């Protein structure tokens, strides 16, 4: 049964450049068009969600708006027959939560092509602990494997390791048998990262030492970078001959202060990772692996849960880099 009303977090621009957030009552009729109506059980907290909620430019064009780039729940109706009522689905990426009302509401309506079936081996809550961050990390690992970076090739570096993508990457790589070296600016989180499977934890200063030089000593067989900027540049400069670097974020900077020497003298490959427009067949394949041999059990056990009303204090903390691991948002009792 479709309810008359449901609750959602609504971000409004109360004055030019001034954004406020409230939990409000909405109706299904107010949702954007799409074939698939989903009752959301869980969402998650991501960097893009914080940007949208705080009105930072470049994410959401029009307000009022409901953020939440991840959602998992139960199908209520599907007009094109792609899903049956009662099926459990995951919706991540595309324009969800950016310019299309997202997972911080108890209901979403989206194109059916945006959804994948929840694979056996994952609960709805677990799928949102993984979320876009986990899909991105798994796609990065997928590309490293495709390029021939195996556990026996040597150390794999993960930057921004206490964040959403980084922490899942550490867990996935360790579970797959890689020698994981994690980089973080939070010395107090070493135990957390070792608990996820990191063999060694480095500080940002450790990675950046001597990074003004054209090339650094060869070390990494592969790199999974979520930071960008000088951290990515230093990682590339210290990647071993024929190594592969994946890049999926810009928490540090969108700029890349780098020369071409790592590419033309060491045959280093830089691979861009995007989960938002990931093709459906690959998306389903990677989710199946995340429910199976790549399931990040250690990370699932360390995740935090909060209600919709608990997000306000977390948005700014997310942008300040004060959060670690994953936060799942409970919409069931919102």
Judged against a pLDDT cut of 80, whether residue 333 lies above it is answered with no
Residue 283 lies in a domain: no
Distances (CA, A) of 254 to 231, 232, 247, 248: 11, 10, 11, 11
Answer whether residue 146 is part of any domain.
yes
Q: How many domains does the chain have?
A: 2
Q: What tens digit of pLDDT does each residue of 15-67 get?
A: 888 999 999 999 999 999 999 999 999 999 999 999 999 999 889 999 999 99
What is the chain's mean pLDDT, rounded?
A: 94
Residues 62 and 45: their CA atoms lie apart, in Å, by 20
Alpha helices (H) in 209-311, listed in sequence order: 229-237, 261-265, 280-291, 297-302
What 3-state class would DSSP assign to 165? helix
pTM score, whole prediction: 0.90
What CATH number does the domain containing 220 carry? 3.40.50.720
**280 found inside a domain:** no
User: Would residue 286 count as lying in a domain?
Assistant: no
* CATH code of the domain covering residue 51: 3.90.180.10
Res 37: pLDDT: 97
26 CB neighbour count, 10 Å cutoff: 18
Residue 181 belongs to some domain of the structure: yes
Rounded Cα gap, residues 25 and 6, in angstroms: 6
């Amino acid at each position: 049964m479709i309810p008359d009303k449901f609750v959602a977090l609504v971000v409004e621009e109360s004055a030019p450049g001034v954004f406020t957030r409230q939990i409000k009552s909405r109706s299904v009729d107010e949702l954007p068009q799409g074939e698939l109506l989903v009752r959301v059980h869980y969402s998650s907290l991501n960097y893009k969600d914080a940007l949208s909620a705080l009105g930072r430019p470049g994410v959401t064009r029009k307000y009022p708006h409901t953020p939440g780039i991840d959602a998992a729940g139960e199908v209520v109706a599907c007009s094109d027959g792609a899903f049956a009522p009662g099926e459990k689905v995951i919706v991540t990426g595309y324009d969800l939560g950016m310019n299309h009302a997202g997972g911080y509401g108890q209901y979403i309506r989206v194109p059916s092509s945006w959804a994948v079936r929840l694979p056996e081996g994952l609960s709805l809550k677990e799928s949102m602990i993984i979320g876009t961050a986990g899909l991105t990390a798994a796609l990065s690992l997928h590309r490293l494997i495709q390029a021939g970076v195996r556990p026996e090739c040597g150390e794999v570096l993960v930057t921004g390791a206490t964040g959403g993508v980084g922490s899942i990457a550490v867990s996935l790589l360790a579970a797959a048998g890689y020698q994981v070296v994690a980089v973080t600016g939070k010395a107090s989180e070493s135990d957390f990262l070792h608990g996820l499977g990191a063999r060694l934890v480095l500080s940002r200063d450790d990675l950046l030492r001597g990074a003004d030089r054209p090339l650094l000593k060869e070390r990494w067989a592969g790199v999974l970078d979520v930071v960008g900027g000088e951290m990515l540049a230093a990682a590339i400069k210290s990647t071993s001959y024929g190594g592969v670097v994946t890049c999926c974020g810009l928490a540090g900077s969108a700029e890349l202060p780098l020369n071409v020497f790592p590419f033309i003298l060491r045959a280093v490959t830089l691979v861009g990772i995007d989960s938002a427009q990931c093709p459906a067949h690959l998306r389903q394949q990677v989710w199946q692996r995340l429910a199976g041999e790549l399931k990040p059990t250690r990370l699932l056990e360390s995740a935090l849960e909060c209600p919709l009303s608990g997000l306000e204090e977390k948005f700014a903390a997310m942008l300040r880099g004060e959060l670690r691991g994953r936060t799942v948002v409970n919409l069931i009792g919102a």
